[in-house]
Amino acid sequence: MRYLPLPRTVLPAVTAVTVFVVIWLAWGSWQDPESYWAPGDLSRYHADIGNCMSCHAPFRGAVDARCIGCHLEARFADRSLPSVSAFHAEVIRQRQTCLSCHTEHRGILGRITSSALKNPHGEFVFVATTTKSCIACHVFEPTFGMPPRLAANETVNQLMAKGRGAHRRGGMANCQQCHAR
């Protein structure tokens, strides 16, 4: 089979288009890298991070050393349950990757722990209650894996009062039966 030679005008046109695309990508990457490269919005936990390079390394993606740079083991131990702290200390000791359990860029209400149980209230619960965390309404047991208890606080009391009985203890787990997304 014989191929016909391409016209002489093709090479300059392909070169010009290639140069244009490379310059356009470079300019866009420099001016607004999030618009060009981010796969989605950050979660509420990391929404205050303004620079991609805080977590990512060029041509490598997210890097564990940068996770650990912000989530120091001592600080983590002070702010989490002992069982959760011990679990993460063991993960770090074994040099396992943070990304094997955690992910980002799934939106403001996205879960960053891939193996976490699904929120029984739906992801919109934080918007509906104007809370930022599960601990605004729940008390978690010190033993890892135990179900949380409903807190006795103002947020929970207001939520129960709003529903005229529907938001009673034990009834809030079925909120999607009355509330649509």
Spell out the per-residue pLDDT of the chain, length 181, in tens: 566 677 878 888 889 999 999 999 888 878 776 666 777 788 878 888 888 889 998 888 889 889 888 888 787 778 777 877 888 888 888 888 888 888 888 777 777 776 554 566 655 667 777 777 777 888 877 665 667 788 888 888 887 777 666 666 666 656 656 665 4
Taking the CB of residue 23, how many other CB atoms lie within 10 A of it?
Answer: 10
- Cβ 151 vs Cβ 139: under 8 Å: yes
| pLDDT for the residue 179 | 64
| pLDDT for the residue 161 | 77
SS (H, E, C) 101-157: CECCCCCCCCCCECCCCCCCCCCCHHHHHCCCCHHHCEECCCCCCCCCEECCCHHHH
* Cα 60 to Cα 63: distance, rounded to the nearest angstrom: 7
Decide: residue 140, CB within 10 A, 0-12 exposed, 13-18 middle, 19+ buried: middle
| pLDDT for the residue 20 | 95
Question: The pTM is what?
Answer: 0.49
* Cα 101 to Cα 115: distance, rounded to the nearest angstrom: 7
| pLDDT for the residue 144 | 58
| pLDDT for the residue 68 | 85
Residue type, 169: R
| pLDDT for the residue 21 | 93
